[in-house]
């Protein structure tokens, strides 16, 4: 009996040690990744300093590099994606949770989540051959003609550009935001809904007060997670954004993101400084993604802990 108990305790200790090793291995991998990026980018920091991130010149021929144009493109395309995706995602989650007939909830939810399983390159091909020509022929000429006085819509209709990238990103992050928002709405107690109805609220008032308002923190967390996904997306964006290192307020003009410039230029970098500059861009994207995802996890943790 004593021997059996000893064996169980020994197996428990071995299992605990194994879990500790796995956890520390993940942390070690994280640290090794950061160290590799930092050391590989160090020549760029030595040459340009931390002003590398506030300079927009990107000229591989002259070995002059600055990441500001790519940071701008990442920010604009991601925010445009959120503007499009968040209302659609929250509306879809609200419909599937509160309004849709029960037989439709599972298949419709499955189809929305399937959007996340489509490879990025497929979105890029669809963007090049379907979305970009449609925008160039029908949408962008209308915007340029009637709203061209607004800086957001000035310029010629290229098709490929910031607007196309933003729409592609919106489609790609919609499943993420929808899935998390659905779980947030499901976690809201039915007593809140019943209480609002008992006090005389209409169904729409109940949805606004008991569901949307109560789940606001969770919706914010889902939005921030979607933002992190949008900022890190590479292939689809690289195929449709136009890949020009330029800063422009117009959504019709080409641009570039931090991820797209790495994908396009890393394999063909012509000098060690070019490689270092691209790695410095990757290090900046690494920190941005870390901050965004940490903020999202903190918000979701707060929702799970407090229920609001």
190 backbone dihedrals φ, ψ, rounded to 5°: -65, -20
- Is the residue at 68 inside a domain? yes
Predicted local confidence at residue 217, as pLDDT:
83
Q: Could you tell me which of 52, 73, 80 has the C-alpha nearest to residue 246?
A: 73
pLDDT at 178 over 70: yes
Predicted local confidence at residue 241, as pLDDT:
96
Average pLDDT score over residue span 144-168 = 93
Share the mean pLDDT of the chain.
90
How distant, in Å, are the alpha carbons of 7, 8, 23, 26 from that of 18? Answer: 16, 15, 9, 13
- State the Cα–Cα distance between residues 138 and 161, nearest whole angstrom: 15
DSSP states along 95-112: IIIIIS-HHHHHHHHHHH
| pLDDT band at 225; cut points 50, 70, 90 | confident
Q: How many helices (H) and strands (E) does the chain have?
A: 13, 0
| pLDDT band at 270; cut points 50, 70, 90 | confident
Higher pLDDT, 10 or 157: 157
Which residues, other chains included, contact 212 with Cβ-Cβ below 8 Å and sequence gap of 6+?
90, 94, 219
pLDDT at 123 over 90: yes
- Is the residue at 25 inside a domain? no
- Is the residue at 135 inside a domain? yes
Predicted local confidence at residue 302, as pLDDT:
73
Rg (the chain; Cα; Å): 24
Indicate the SS3 state at residue 255: strand
pTM of the model: 0.90
- State the Cα–Cα distance between residues 154 and 60, nearest whole angstrom: 29
Q: Do the Cβ atoms of 268 and 186 come closer than 8 Å?
A: no
Higher pLDDT, 28 or 225: 28
CATH number of the CATH domain containing 130: 1.10.3720.10
Q: Which domain holds residue 110?
A: 44-306
- Is the residue at 36 inside a domain? no
| pLDDT band at 6; cut points 50, 70, 90 | low
Report the percentage of the chain scoring pLDDT > 70. 95
Q: How many domains does the chain have?
A: 1
- Is the residue at 24 inside a domain? no
Predicted local confidence at residue 80, as pLDDT:
96
How distant, in Å, are the alpha carbons of 33, 92, 206, 287 from that of 44? Answer: 18, 45, 56, 17
Tell me which of 12-16, 163-167, 207-211 is least confident.
12-16
- Is the residue at 29 inside a domain? no
- Is the residue at 86 inside a domain? yes
Predicted local confidence at residue 293, as pLDDT:
79
- Is the residue at 215 inside a domain? yes
255 backbone dihedrals φ, ψ, rounded to 5°: -155, -160
Q: Do the Cβ atoms of 170 and 80 come closer than 8 Å?
A: yes
């Amino acid at each position: 009996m004593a021997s059996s108990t000893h064996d169980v305790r020994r197996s428990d200790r071995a299992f605990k040690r194994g879990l500790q090793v796995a956890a520390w291995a993940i942390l070690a991998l994280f640290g090794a990744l950061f160290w590799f990026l930092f050391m590989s980018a160090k020549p760029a920091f030595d040459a340009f300093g931390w002003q590398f991130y506030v300079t927009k010149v990107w000229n591989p021929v002259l070995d002059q590099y600055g990441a500001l144009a790519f940071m701008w493109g990442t920010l604009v395309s991601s925010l445009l994606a959120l503007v499009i995706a968040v209302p659609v995602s929250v509306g879809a989650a609200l419909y599937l949770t509160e309004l849709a007939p029960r037989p439709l909830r599972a298949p419709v939810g499955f189809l929305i989540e399937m959007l996340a399983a489509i490879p990025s390159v497929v979105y890029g091909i669809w963007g090049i051959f379907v979305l970009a020509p449609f925008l160039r022929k029908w949408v962008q000429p209308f915007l340029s003609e009637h709203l061209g006085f607004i800086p957001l819509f000035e310029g010629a209709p290229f098709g490929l550009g910031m607007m196309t990238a933003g729409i592609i990103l919106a489609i790609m992050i919609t499943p993420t935001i929808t899935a998390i928002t659905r779980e947030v709405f499901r976690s809201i107690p039915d007593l809140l809904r019943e209480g609002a109805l008992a006090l005389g609220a209409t169904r729409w008032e109940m949805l606004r007060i008991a569901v949307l308002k109560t789940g606001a923190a969770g919706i914010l967390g889902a939005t921030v997670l979607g933002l992190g996904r949008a900022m890190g997306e590479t292939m689809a964006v690289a195929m449709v954004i136009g890949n020009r290192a330029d800063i422009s307020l117009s959504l019709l003009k080409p641009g570039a993101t931090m991820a797209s410039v790495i994908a396009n230029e890393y394999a063909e970098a012509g000098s060690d400084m070019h490689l270092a500059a691209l790695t410095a861009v990757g290090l900046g994207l690494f920190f941005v993604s870390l901050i965004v995802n940490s903020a999202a996890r903190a918000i979701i943790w707060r929702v799970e802990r407090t229920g609001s």
